[in-house]
Structure 1
Amino acid sequence: MPDTDRLEQIQQFLTDTGWVSSPFRVSFLAAGEYNANYLIESGARQYVLRINHGSQLGLGDDQIAYEYQVLTALADSGVTPKPLACHPRPDPLGGGVLLMEFIPGEPLDYCRDLEKAAHVFARIHTVSVPDSLIVQADPVSDIARESYGLLHRFSDHPLTKEKEQILAYYDTVLALAETTRPLFDAEPLCLVNTEVNSGNFLISPDRACLVDWEKAVVSCRYQDLGHFMVPTTTLWKTDIVLSRKDRHRFLSAYHQQACPDMPFDDLAEKSHVMEKTILLRALSWCFMAWYEYTQTDRPIRNPDTFAKIQQYLSDIPCILHSVT
């Protein structure tokens, strides 16, 4: 939880910028791995103020402006928070700042909300793609390259056994990229979130939304679909692994709403390829983040996240066999 001084800094920032009508109240809402979020209440209106403390995309101080651009492109989708203002410089709050719509709701329930998640993805993946965003047109190779960078970010990383295990799987994914590249060659590109765990959905009786757009890229739809179904995602915030029936139910709902003219078997095959690929990225990020949590002064530390990182890294062979 932030101290009183931090809340007063935010209060002063909003007063100086005039983004929110006075009087207003500031309270801590939630923190991810690279952003802290605050609830702003002004009369009957509510907002989220998001302060950035790092970039998974290597964008440095441009990270929050990038997320603002993504949310602007998605503003008419109805399933993402509308962006209201952006202050890209790190001063005076220590990171770029984004003001956006507050969306009430609960995290996604995999037993109850698969069709709602499919609807969210269908809306997002049919939005016009803006210019100037990062493009991953060759998704398997691009994610393998990103994962290799995560594995080698810290040269003095002490978990050598785990690194060798993940690098062996990296070679497997490189081979997968070569054999499956024709599947994706003619695939239309769309905006994808790439971080679609249950906690990034907000579900209410009237609306289902996907928030946290810091790592969005332009790629094929299967990045999101595969990421949504893979066990490293479903287990991140819950104890759920989707059954074959659940996966078919989710993909069928998406297929009907987003791409009914595509053969369903093609959709399922390409999503499965991306599941195998996402496993590499998930383990590589955990490997990198373990070092940040244990060897650096990381600005945001989430005990639940570190526990999950340790869990995944402690049984890499089991994780890799979870998608066959």
Structure 2
Amino acid sequence: MAAEASLPDRREAVFVFVRESGWADVSSPADVTFLAAGEYNENWFVRAPHGDLVLRINHGSQLGLGERQIVYEFNVLQALAQSGVTPRPHVVEPAPRGLPGGVLLMEYLPGRAFDYATDSDLAARIFARVHEVAPNPELVRQPDPVAAIADESLSLIERYPEHPLREKRTALLGLHARVLRLAEEARELFARDAQVLVNTEVNSGNFIVGEGERQGRAWLVDWEKAVLSTRCQDLGHFLVRTTTRWKTDYTFGPDERLRFLTTYLVESGLEEPLEELDAKVALMERTILLRALSWCYMAWHEYTRPGSRALRNPSTFARIEDYLRDIDGLAAAI
């Protein structure tokens, strides 16, 4: 998430909604502060007598769920409440009066920004706790994750037929063809994996690291795109450089990568050989890289068309352009 998103000042509207709905005992608009926004949601801090809260406003669905998106995320958070590494949800309203999208109210988790160099063991612990939660059968399933992500990537590439970056489109279609070949190789491999609840969007901005009395703890927020799939999807997404470079300049080296995977195996209690997990995660990284570049291609079109996006982050657009300039370099691993 990024705090620099260009948004209308909704403080008064958020205050009125929270007060009139009875969701929190707020006394003035000063109890409400803009917190952060990503590409599809904005978040408002609500200071309340019985504990600070976050009001999340949804502006779109990457899963094609339409107005059901905010309820879907609420249900994911409810399923994850037992994990202790995600915010606890309180209440949801898919059609709130006076606000531009569905909303949910959840626990506010204070903390500092995530640092790949020092906090990756905490991330491994979070993934282990999340992946042991009993899967909710009502969630979107991806039993064939490479093929599913390849299909999603193709839909992103083809969303805007009038897209002016034709050479980028040709390059991405070539990468898509390579990932489809990976899908044939991976189908049976991942069919043997347990279906677990995975976040699928684990960039550094979605982690919160505790300080003071909460030192040593960390949480993962932003569960809009959670699905049931192989655990390797989260692990690969966390490690791939299109993720680590999204908000930072960090890239995992071979030793740091194996340390992270080893910590995950210890925390999760899995008896899978490190070499096997490493190979499957590497395959998912190659697939997720295609999805990241395809999303950038799609989003570039929206960012350059006035009125086509409710939420806009200047730093996100800068990174989109960086990635599109370096498609060949980034895609060398596919």
* TM-score, scaled relative to structure 2: 0.94
1:43 shift after superposition: 2.6
Distance in 2 (alpha carbons) for counterparts of 1:301 and 1:91: 24
Is the Cα–Cα contact under 8 Å of residues 18 and 26 in structure 2 kept in the other structure? no
Q: What is the aligned-residue identity percentage?
A: 51
Distance in 2 (alpha carbons) for counterparts of 1:123 and 1:258: 7
The answer to which of 8-17 and 168-177 deviates more is: 8-17
Query: In the alignment, does 2:324 pair up with 1:320?
Result: no
The answer to which of 294-303 and 135-144 deviates more is: 294-303
1:113 to 113, 119, 127: 119
Is the Cα–Cα contact under 8 Å of residues 77 and 223 in structure 2 kept in the other structure? yes
1:238 shift after superposition: 0.4
SS at match of 2:83: coil
1:183 shift after superposition: 1.1
Distance in 1 (alpha carbons) for counterparts of 2:14 and 2:246: 31
Question: Which residue of structure 2 aligns with residue 49 of structure 1?
Answer: 55
Question: Which residue of structure 2 aligns with residue 255 of structure 1?
Answer: 265
Give the partner amino acid of 1:260. Answer: L
SS at match of 1:299: coil
Q: Deviations over 1:107-161 (max 9, x none)?
A: 2111101110000000000000112111011010010001011111111111110
Question: Which residue of structure 2 aligns with residue 272 of structure 1?
Answer: 282
Runs (5+) with no aligned partner, structure 1 = none
Distance change in 2, residues 1:171/1:2 (3 Å): closer
Is the Cα–Cα contact under 8 Å of residues 61 and 90 in structure 1 kept in the other structure? no
Is the Cα–Cα contact under 8 Å of residues 27 and 39 in structure 1 kept in the other structure? yes
1:2 shift after superposition: 5.2
Distance in 1 (alpha carbons) for counterparts of 2:54 and 2:205: 16
1:141 to 130, 136, 147: 147
SS at match of 1:75: helix
Is the Cα–Cα contact under 8 Å of residues 236 and 308 in structure 1 kept in the other structure? yes
Give the partner amino acid of 2:185. Answer: T
The answer to which of 214-223 and 253-262 deviates more is: 253-262
Runs (5+) with no aligned partner, structure 2 = 1-5
Give the partner amino acid of 1:305. Answer: T
Question: Which residue of structure 2 aligns with residue 292 of structure 1?
Answer: 302
Is the Cα–Cα contact under 8 Å of residues 17 and 97 in structure 2 kept in the other structure? no
Give the partner amino acid of 2:91. Answer: A
1:105 shift after superposition: 1.3
Is the Cα–Cα contact under 8 Å of residues 15 and 26 in structure 2 kept in the other structure? no
1:124 to 119, 122, 130: 130
1:7 shift after superposition: 1.1
Distance in 1 (alpha carbons) for counterparts of 2:8 and 2:188: 53
